[in-house]
């Protein structure tokens, strides 16, 4: 008679063994096919937006990639907190800075963030040649581009809107006029939306031309700052020469002054222009509106065209 | 049922014809797509996925037109590119989950499928580490996993054994075989190494210069005859043993020839008649009193497809132009210019592939 020593031992160890042990089995389930839902293009696009948006703040990536976005976000919100503290402590009637002015005031920081986030979104996919994996899925190339545009726009908007929310909350806590503050806050948010969309199209276009992230960062910073300083100095020169009418038109020449003038014309009143006066909503302001919309559309179009060529 | 059908498919870039009126039918199973670098393999894959428009001709994948239904095709097809395509700073699990969601799988399904697929391709604990630290073999497994994660009906694998050492190659090829046998997924696998597709594929398609050279089941390539390589010692009676054996075997009615070295190659027909040939060889050598150093069976290498063409091409009739000739998969002489044949015949890749299989 054959007795298996293993069987004997396990039976000894567990008197009621056979049934109790019989339930605990390791199954080799082999390959399981998938018969669940396939949600297609729109789901892929939504997932890509979510993934890219998280990536823009370093979420879901290594700890090292979280440092800079979080540091910049802190620097971005710090002045807002100080302003709120000062306003409440000294019983001011209004915040030291208007909502729409805040983003313009903090533009160097926003610019740095945009320069950091845009290459993170597209250059890495180009550098590691991950794009063929996206394009060999149901997504079309236009889906990829619109998803990236949407994700960066939302990221920049969140980056700009967070301090505004702090200001607004502080203003309400400090019992400033709720109606004035609400109007100003909404104007600030609207400005942030336009700012975010314009800058995301511009920065993604620049970043999509280089697989090297460092180059992308440098190029975006250059495109945001060099024209800004050029336009601003030119404005001052022209202003000092006495032709203040030309100041408005020169403001169209850089993304920074463009946003400043646009907000001045439609969302508030003041600008950082030498005159301190905003372009008239009907006159030069219209040019600001058209250039803002046109530049955004042009950059998006070029970005779409760029991705018809690269990435397979 | 056919998985891939192309008809007169051409792709011309300025100055280059990547695919030239390719007409081929590919059924379920593992199909090897063989060609030298630049033969048009990757171009074909791009056209099949609907990523680039064909210059002329049509292709259908899983019954859908590549030019129109690209998105629907890509939902049911997996693709593993030839080159590196993995971000180094992300763990394999996260990356493959992301790719599964890109294919349209809901979040939980994507996670389950990722765990399953990574296990099937043989990636265990390492899957939680960033991909940057992986070996080439592990990276190839991740690339394969992302192609399989949405349970496609067909996967297109572009040079999956690139950069792997011999052991890694064997594992990858066995895995590819399993993709079909265990997972039930049809496979189109490209390689410039002819030898390695021989044991993985059910069907081989050979293209060169964008044209179809041959499309046949693996049996057609390798099983028509068997070659027996025989090596013997020399003796005082037979100072040149190989030559003596060659003569004796020829006298015994077998088709034998000398190769460049000390080997005698004996052609054996399939079936019982061929099996009797083994006895003849053994007895002949024993009777001559020579030592039998080696007697090894060699299947016909796919590389010989090219060698055959060198022989066949000069005898081929004036190459007829037109899409019909390459359409006939059984015609080994395509309309290819005979002048270009020597260039493709003994490709180093082909030799390498054949040598790798020799022992």
Query: A5-33 pLDDT, tens per residue?
Result: 444 334 344 444 444 455 666 666 688 88
B181 to chain A, closest Cα gap in Å: 10
pLDDT at site B205: 92
* Domains defined for chain B, CATH in brackets: 4-221 (3.40.50.300), 225-299 (3.30.70.270)
DSSP B18-73: EEEEEEEEE-SSEEEEE--TTSSHHHHHHHHTTSS--SEEEEEETTEETTT-HHHH
| A279 DSSP 8-state letter | P
Q: Does B150 touch chain A (CB under 8 A)?
A: yes
**pLDDT tens, residue by residue, A182-194:** 999 999 999 999 9
Between A40-56 and A141-173, two packed helices, what is the crossing angle to 10 degrees? 50
Alpha-carbon gap, residue B43 to B45, rounded angstroms:
5
Query: What is the token pair recorded at B81?
Result: 């590119």
pLDDT at site B225: 59
DSSP reduced 3-state for A52: helix
B13 to chain A, closest Cα gap in Å: 13
- Residue at A60 is within a domain: yes
Least confident interval from A280-284, B182-186, B202-206, B233-237? A280-284
A22 to chain B, closest Cα gap in Å: 25
pLDDT at site A249: 87
Taking residues A156-164, what's their average pLDDT? 96
CA angle centred on A95, ends A89 and A96, rounded to 5°: 90
Per-residue HEC secondary structure of B172-193 comes to HHHHHHHHHHCCCCEEEEEECC
CA dist list (Å): B256 to B268, B307, B326: 9, 18, 33
Q: Which residues of chain A form beta strands (DSSP E)?
A: none
Residues of B in contact with A34 (CB under 8 A): 105, 109, 113, 150-151
> Quick one: pLDDT band at residue A312, thresholds 50, 70, 90?
low
Query: What is the token pair recorded at A2?
Result: 């054959």
Q: Judge: B71–A41 Cβ closer than 8 Å, yes or no.
A: yes
CA dist list (Å): B180 to A62, B16, B46, B78, B133: 36, 35, 22, 13, 30
> Quick one: pLDDT band at residue B197, thresholds 50, 70, 90?
confident
Q: Judge: B130–A62 Cβ closer than 8 Å, yes or no.
A: yes
Per-residue HEC secondary structure of A68-103 comes to HHHHHHHHHHHHHHHHHHHHHHCCCCCCCCCHHHHH
Residues of A in contact with B182 (CB under 8 A): 30-31
Residue B323: is its pLDDT beyond 50?
Answer: no
Q: Judge: A312–B146 Cβ closer than 8 Å, yes or no.
A: no
Q: Which of residues 144-163 of A touch B (CB under 8 A)?
A: none
Q: Which of residues 174-193 of B touch A (CB under 8 A)?
A: 182-184
B1 to chain A, closest Cα gap in Å: 20
Between A255-266 and A284-309, two packed helices, what is the crossing angle to 10 degrees? 130
**How many domains are there within chain A?**
1
Taking residues A109-135, what's their average pLDDT? 93
Alpha-carbon gap, residue B144 to B155, rounded angstroms:
9
- Residue at A28 is within a domain: no
CA angle centred on B229, ends B225 and B233, rounded to 5°: 155
**pLDDT tens, residue by residue, A267-308:** 876 788 887 777 877 778 899 999 999 999 999 999 999 998
More confident residue, B240 or A298: A298
Alpha-carbon gap, residue B195 to A141, rounded angstroms:
37
- Residue at A12 is within a domain: no
**Residue from A306, A128, A148 nearest A212 by CA:** A128
Domain ranges, residue A77 = 41-309
CB atoms within 10 A of CB A157: 19
A62 to chain B, closest Cα gap in Å: 7
Residues of B in contact with A44 (CB under 8 A): 101-104
**Residue from A49, A166, A150, A69 nearest A117 by CA:** A69
- Residue at A2 is within a domain: no
Q: Judge: B106–A65 Cβ closer than 8 Å, yes or no.
A: no
Whose tokens are 């694998």? That residue is: B157
Per-residue HEC secondary structure of B90-112 comes to CEHHHHHHHHHHHCCCCHHHHHH
Do A210 and A216 form a contact (C-beta atoms < 8 A)? Answer: yes
Q: How many CB pairs under 8 A join A and B?
A: 106
**H or E element, residue B18:** strand B16-26
Residues ≥6 apart with Cβ < 8 Å to B102: A44, A47, A48, A133, A134, A137, A138, A139
pTM equals 0.77
Mean pLDDT for chain A overall:
87
Nearest chain B residue to A130 by CA: give it: B85
- Residue at A36 is within a domain: no
CB atoms within 10 A of CB B53: 11
DSSP reduced 3-state for B290: coil
Residues of A in contact with B86 (CB under 8 A): 128, 130
Q: Judge: A128–B183 Cβ closer than 8 Å, yes or no.
A: no
Residue A266: is its pLDDT beyond 50?
Answer: yes
B179 to chain A, closest Cα gap in Å: 9
Residue A170: is its pLDDT beyond 60?
Answer: yes
- Residue at A25 is within a domain: no
pLDDT at site B106: 95
Cα A310 to its chain centre, rounded Å, is: 23
**Residue from A61, A59, A57, A71 nearest A158 by CA:** A57
Residue B142: is its pLDDT beyond 90?
Answer: yes
């Amino acid at each position: 008679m054959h007795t298996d020593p293993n069987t004997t031992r396990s039976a000894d160890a567990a008197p009621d063994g056979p049934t109790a042990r019989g339930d605990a089995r390791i199954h080799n389930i082999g390959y399981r096919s998938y018969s669940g839902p396939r949600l297609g293009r729109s789901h892929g696009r939504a997932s890509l937006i979510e993934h890219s948006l998280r990536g823009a703040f370093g979420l879901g990536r290594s700890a090292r990639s979280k440092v800079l976005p979080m540091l910049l976000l802190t620097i971005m919100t710090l002045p807002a907190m100080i302003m709120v503290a000062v306003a409440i402590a000294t019983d001011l009637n209004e915040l030291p800075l208007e909502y729409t002015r805040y983003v313009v005031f903090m533009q160097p920081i926003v610019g740095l963030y945009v320069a950091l986030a845009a290459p993170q979104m597209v250059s890495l996919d180009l550098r590691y040649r991950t794009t063929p994996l996206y394009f060999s899925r149901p997504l079309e190339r236009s889906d990829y581009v619109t998803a990236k545009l949407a994700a960066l726009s939302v990221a920049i908007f969140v980056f700009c809107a967070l301090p505004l929310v702090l200001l607004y909350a502080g203003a309400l806590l400090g019992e400033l006029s709720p109606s004035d503050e609400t109007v100003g806050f909404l104007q600030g948010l609207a400005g942030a939306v336009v700012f975010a969309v314009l800058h995301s199209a511009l920065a993604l276009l620049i970043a999509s031309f280089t697989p090297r992230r460092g180059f992308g960062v440098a190029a975006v910073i250059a495109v945001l700052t060099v024209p800004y300083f050029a336009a601003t100095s030119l404005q001052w020169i022209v202003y000092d020469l006495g032709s203040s009418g030309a100041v408005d038109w020169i403001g169209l020449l850089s993304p920074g002054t463009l946003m400043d003038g646009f907000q001045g014309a439609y969302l508030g009143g003041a600008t950082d222009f030498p005159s301190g006066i905003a372009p008239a909503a009907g006159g030069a302001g219209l040019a600001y509106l058209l250039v803002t919309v046109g530049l955004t559309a042009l950059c998006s179009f070029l970005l779409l065209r760029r991705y018809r060529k690269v990435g397979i | 049922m056919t998985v891939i059908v192309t008809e007169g498919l051409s792709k011309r870039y300025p100055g280059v014809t990547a695919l030239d009126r390719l007409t081929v039918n590919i059924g379920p199973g593992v199909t090897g797509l063989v060609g030298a670098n630049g033969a048009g393999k990757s171009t074909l894959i791009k056209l099949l996925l609907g990523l680039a428009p064909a210059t002329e001709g049509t292709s259908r994948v899983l019954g859908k037109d590549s030019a129109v239904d690209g998105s629907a095709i890509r939902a049911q097809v997996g693709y593993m590119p030839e080159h590196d395509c993995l971000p180094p700073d992300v763990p394999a699990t996260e990356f493959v989950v992301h790719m599964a969601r890109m294919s349209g799988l809901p979040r939980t399904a994507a996670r389950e499928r990722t765990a399953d697929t990574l296990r099937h391709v043989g990636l265990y604990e390492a899957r939680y580490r960033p991909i940057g630290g992986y070996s080439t073999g592990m990276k190839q497994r991740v690339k394969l996993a992302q192609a399989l994660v949405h349970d496609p009906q067909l996967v297109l694998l572009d040079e999956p054994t690139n950069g792997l050492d011999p052991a890694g190659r064997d594992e990858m090829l066995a895995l590819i075989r399993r993709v079909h046998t265990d997972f039930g997924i049809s496979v189109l696998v490209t390689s410039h190494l002819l030898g390695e597709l021989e044991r993985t594929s059910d069907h081989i398609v050979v293209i060169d210069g964008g044209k179809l050279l041959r499309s046949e089941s693996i049996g057609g390539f390798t099983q028509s005859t068997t070659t027996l390589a025989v090596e013997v010692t020399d003796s005082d009676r037979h100072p040149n043993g190989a030559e003596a054996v060659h003569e004796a075997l020829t006298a015994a009615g077998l088709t034998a020839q000398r190769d460049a070295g000390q080997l005698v190659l004996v052609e054996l027909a399939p079936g019982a008649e061929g099996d009797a040939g083994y006895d003849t060889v053994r007895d002949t050598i024993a009777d001559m009193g020579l030592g039998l150093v080696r007697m090894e069976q060699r299947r016909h290498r796919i590389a010989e497809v090219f060698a055959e063409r060198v022989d066949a091409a000069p005898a081929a009739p004036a190459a007829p132009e037109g899409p019909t000739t390459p359409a006939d998969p059984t015609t080994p002489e395509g309309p290819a210019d005979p002048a270009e044949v020597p260039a493709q015949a003994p490709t180093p890749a082909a030799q390498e592939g054949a040598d790798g299989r020799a022992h």
